[in-house]
Amino acid sequence: MKVILQKDIKTLGRKGAVVEVSEGYARNYLIKNKLVVEATAENMNVLKSQQGALMKRKERDFEEAKKLAEVMKKITLKFTVKAGEGGRLFGSVTAKDIAEKLNDEHKIEVDKKKVMLEDAIKTAGVTEVEVKLYEGVNTKIKVQIVTE
């Protein structure tokens, strides 16, 4: 029996995939638990329209991410921190700090996991930090550390 997955199922595939399963498995488990719908002509048309809308949304999000990347290239975040001898900071500037400062100062929400910082910044100066905005769209921002 052909069915359309309504949710990601580890053994069968991702949401929206059309798969062949045994009739008993489909009727007794998958359909009963609303994990799939039968792949009728009507349901296939609904699936195609949903996939079309999803593709348009992904294109729009990609274009917005590219525009945001251009804006973010010009951003320099300035952190003022205390430092000891040799310019070593007391504490450090982390990806979480960078994400919060972007949100506070520029109203740009970025998940801290998307800020590609190998190690926390522990020295004064200017550092370029890569930020992943969307699949295939990355940008770099400048982070300036100034000591008190």
- Confidence at 18, pLDDT banded by 50, 70, 90: very high
- The CATH number assigned to the domain holding 79 equals 3.10.430.100
Percent of the chain with pLDDT over 90: 74
Give the residue numbers spanning the domain of 32.
Answer: 2-61
Sign, Cα dihedral of 16, 19, 21, 24:
positive
Q: Is the pLDDT of residue 85 over 80?
A: no
This prediction's pTM: 0.69
Q: What integer is the mean pLDDT of 63-76?
A: 92
Same domain, 56 and 96: no
Average pLDDT over the chain reads: 91
Domains identified in the chain, total number: 2
Question: In this structure, are strands 76-81 and 137-147 parallel, antiparallel, or unpaired?
Answer: parallel
Distance of CA 36 to the CA centre of its chain: 27
- The CATH number assigned to the domain holding 40 equals 3.40.5.10
Which phi and psi (to 5°) does residue 63 adopt?
Answer: -65, -40
Give the pLDDT of residue 53: 93
